[in-house]
Amino acid sequence: MKNWKEQYNEIMEKFNEQDKNKIPLCAAETYTSSYSLKALSSHIEGQYGFNKEHRKNDFIGGDTVVELKSLASNLCKNIFNSEYVNVDTMTGMSCITYTIMSLLKNDAKVLITTPNQGGHPSLPTILETLNISYDEIPYNFQKFQIDYDKTNYLIKSNKYDAIIFCQSDLLCPPQLEYFNFPKDLLIIYDCTQTLGLIAGNIIENPLKKLDKIVLVGGTHKTLPAPSCGIIMTNNNSLIEKLKDKISPEFLRYIQPNHIAGLILALIEFKEFGYN
């Protein structure tokens, strides 16, 4: 029987051989550059760091984590024109979960993209666990697009506290100009699949069109960075709630080496992402 090390080497050799000979056709399999991957092996991995108001509780070296988070935030502000940026989470779905926990009450009712129309299959389970009820956003399966007239009719009923776009498998992103959003309706928009296209101005940035919107996304798809999560908004009331809740209320430990990798990928994007 092979020992543990031999089994590990066999798994990785098989993957590396396969990786050399494949052509990725899925946004989830994007390649990250060796430049941005350098940060993942940094010794900052495992380092704790809290928000500035909790600095008295910092571990030695926590200042470096705070500085990295600030740099990542400033880069995202520059690229995405977002006033508030949080990069503490690891994936798009963790962004969605912490945003919902921070902004919605347990008895809220929401409209969502469901799995049968390309919505992320985890979202209904997350909402059910949090005791948040939901209805399906009407969808036109002939056009592979949301049925905007029927959705606007539901929105007009004022029964919903939020609408959540969380499309894991999509051919056409939501066309926001076709919605009649009331001022008080919260919009949570997961742009994991299209984050790089928004950064490169291929798709219009939803933050420029709407006020009460939170833009969330994983960074390892069309934005070719190591796995990390971004939460962004320009709405002051939402900023205060997110700042108070996500860190350090829900999250105490983060992955600073992944934040460092995201920084390098965003620097690359600034240099090459608009060509």
How confident is the prediction for the chain on average, in pLDDT? 90
Q: What is the pLDDT of residue 53?
A: 55
Q: What is the pLDDT of residue 9?
A: 97
User: Is pLDDT of 266 > 90?
Assistant: yes
Question: How far is the C-alpha of 39 from the C-alpha of 34, rounded, in Å?
Answer: 9
Digit-coded pLDDT (tens) for 17-66: 988 888 877 777 788 899 999 999 988 888 777 655 555 556 666 788 88
Residues 6+ apart with CB under 8 A from 53: none
Residue 157 CB neighbours (<10 A): 7
Question: How far is the C-alpha of 188 from the C-alpha of 231, rounded, in Å?
Answer: 10
Q: What is the pLDDT of residue 110?
A: 98
Q: In the structure encoding, which two tokens stand for residue 89, read together?
A: 């989470």
Instruction: Specify the residue for token string 């829900």.
Output: 250
- 3-state DSSP assignment of residue 165: strand
